[in-house]
Amino acid sequence: QVQLQGSGPTLVKPSETLSLTCTVSGDSIRPYYWSWIRQPPGKGLEWIGYVFTSESPTYNPSLKTRVTISMDTSKSQFSLKLTSVTAADTAVYYCARGHRDMDLWGKGTTVTVSS
Amino acid sequence: EIVLTQSPDFQSVTPKEKVTITCRASQSIGSILHWYQQKPDQSPKLLIKFASQSISGVPSRFSGSGSGTDFTLTINGLEAEDAAAYYCHQTSTLPFTFGPGTKVDIK
């Protein structure tokens, strides 16, 4: 059974970097696209970007100057880094399989930006 | 950026009723439109892909239709477990965007 498990700090200070990792178990990471999506408290979903082994990552332009998505196939992980965070980046961050129809989602990691 | 609008924002429905949620795109996206269900405190779940394609394991009461700019998610015979927020999502044009969601409540 394929599972996605997100991990990383749940509290980040303003102006610092948010770093999350999603570990894929039960299947190979290589054949698939992998995405990050976030959801601020009480709000809707926002697409962040996606990564694939043989392509450059693709990002939402609204975050493009601050976001990096990468993949480590040897560890079956893909990661999200978001720099210079503010309170507006407080959200549940989801990792998911796929980049168009996302058919498998992790449980979500709640990240709060606060001093 | 393609803007997706959904209607209604909220719907309170009696079990066994038919539910129709619409999603309109600000420009044509072909059939590159997917529907997700998100129950409280859970991750989104893919319900319908590419406007009308069913997903293995999703009850047959969920169906999708439409193309171009107008899309519909239909729940034929609502069940109590269907109380959730429903989001449409276009992946035709970057940046990919989500609709604002439709919350379905059970009367």
- Residue linked to tokens 């082994």: A53
Q: With an 8 Å Cβ cutoff, are A44 and B87 in contact?
A: yes
CA B47 to chain centre: 8
The Cα–Cα gap between A36 and A46 comes to 9
Q: What is the pLDDT of residue A54?
A: 82
Write out pLDDT tens, residues A25-77.
999 999 999 999 999 999 999 999 999 998 999 999 999 899 999 999 999 99
Burial state string for B66-88 with b = 16 or more CB within 10 A and e = fewer than 16: beebebbbebeebeeebbbbbbb
Write out pLDDT tens, residues B84-107.
999 999 999 999 999 999 999 999
The count of CB pairs under 8 A between chains A and B is 50
- DSSP secondary structure letter of residue A103: -
Q: What is the pLDDT of residue B9?
A: 97
> CB under 8 Å to A56, separation ≥6 — which residues?
none
Give Rg (Cα) of chain A: 13
Write out pLDDT tens, residues B15-24.
999 999 999 9
Q: What is the largest CA-CA distance in chain A?
A: 40
Q: With an 8 Å Cβ cutoff, are A101 and B34 in contact?
A: yes
Q: How far is A46 from chain B (nearest CA, A)?
A: 7
Q: With an 8 Å Cβ cutoff, are B43 and A106 in contact?
A: yes
N-to-C CA span, chain B:
36
